[in-house]
Amino acid sequence: MTAIYKKEVRSYFNNMTGYIFIAFILLIVGVYTTAYNFRGAMVNFEYVLGAVGFIFTIVVPILTMRAMSEERRQKTDQLLLTCPVTVTGVILGKYLAMVTILLIPSAFLCAYPLILSQFGTLSLAICYGSILAFFLMGCALIAVGLFISTLTENQIIAAVLSFAVLILAYMMSNITSLASSSALGSFLAFTALLLIFAAFLYVMTGNRYLSLTAAAALEVVLLAVYLLDSALFAGAFLKVMESLAFFTYLDRFVYNRIFDLTAIIYYLSLIFLFLFFSVQAVEKRRWS
């Protein structure tokens, strides 16, 4: 795993991807810091982090698109799978290399509150808590991008899919506000999610019977609950989708000005979940 990690870190700086990733984040944060803190005379650096969260929808697909798709295209994934290292080791090596690239601009951001403290009074605890949440959100989104990269051998397709998923996550709160809060609307929305779940299960297992059976069983349970007490579904879909929105958890640190342990656990859970999915996707290809 260590050899893969070192190779990946070197490759990101050999092909300029790492430099572009770091420079773009620092450039956007610098622009917003100038606008918010210096021109706007605000000392709340956490507001800058809340405003620039959208940059992950741009830089993460660029960073992750070649993680596994390039290995598949060049057939070097077969070499990796025959090396004395587990699939988990391969995925972790690649993931930790990308996290290291993210860690560099995040370390630079730690200097911003100290600089701003020379011009006014600010809460360093809130600032550094927001930086931690910003970093963990980036780590979680990198895990999502890595998983998508395991599904295709085309870098462009991996980048486009990652961008689409992250944009959808970024706009989740706005999209859910347009959805119906009625019981029937929530029931139909959950049914649509079950279809998406069935498609995902089929991609992961390649077993159509298992996918359809699992979706049908869950739909029966969903329908039974709806018939027994439809009031439970009123507004339920909106609450579920809001709880799954990646970017809203950062807002708890920024705008609620609290250290939210729930958000930390959420991001760590996402990282574990999508790294697990990545391992299973590679294992499926290994044995197919």
What's the pLDDT tens digit per position in 9-30?
A: 888 888 888 899 999 999 999 9
Task: Give me the mean pLDDT over the 127-155 stretch.
Answer: 90
What's the gap between Cα 160 and its chain centre? 15
What pLDDT was estimated at residue 180? 63
Integer CA distances (angstroms), 220 to 90, 193, 215, 237, in order: 39, 14, 9, 18
> Which pLDDT tens digit goes with each residue over 233-280?
777 777 777 767 777 888 888 877 677 788 899 899 999 999 998 888
Residue 83: per-residue pLDDT: 67
Q: Return the SS3 of 74.
A: coil
**Above pLDDT 90, what percent of the chain?**
22
Asked if 203 and 138 touch (Cβ cutoff 8 Å), the reply is no
Mean pLDDT value across residues 39-45: 79
The tokens describing 40, both together, are 């706007």
Q: What is the mean pLDDT of the chain?
A: 83
Distance CA 284, CA 147 (A): 13
pTM across the whole model: 0.86
pLDDT band of residue 173 (cuts 50, 70, 90) is low
Q: Which residues contact 66 (CB under 8 A, 6 or more apart)?
A: 17, 149, 155, 158
**pLDDT tens by residue, 102-125:** 999 999 999 998 888 887 778 888
Supply the pLDDT for residue 175: 66
CA distance 156 to 217: 36
Q: What is the CA radius of gyration of the chain?
A: 21
pLDDT at 151: 84
**Which whole number is the average pLDDT over 193-213?**
77
Distance in angstroms (rounded) separating the CA atoms of residues 288 and 285:
5
Q: What is the pLDDT of residue 249?
A: 82
Is the pLDDT confidence value at 100 over 90? yes
CA–CA gap between residue 185 and residue 167 (Å, rounded)? 24
Q: How far apart are CA 11 and CA 26, in angstroms?
A: 21
pLDDT reported for residue 281: 83
Mind listing the pLDDT tens digit for each residue in 84-94?
Answer: 678 888 889 99
Contact (CB, 8 A) for 34 and 42: no
pLDDT at 143: 94
How far apart CA 133 and CA 212 sit, in angstroms, is 38
Three-state SS for 100-142 is HHHHHHHHHHCHHHHHHCCCCCCCHHHHHHHHHHHHHHHHHHH
Q: What pLDDT is attached to residue 60?
A: 92
Residue whose pair of structure tokens reads 């027994």 in the numeric block? 228
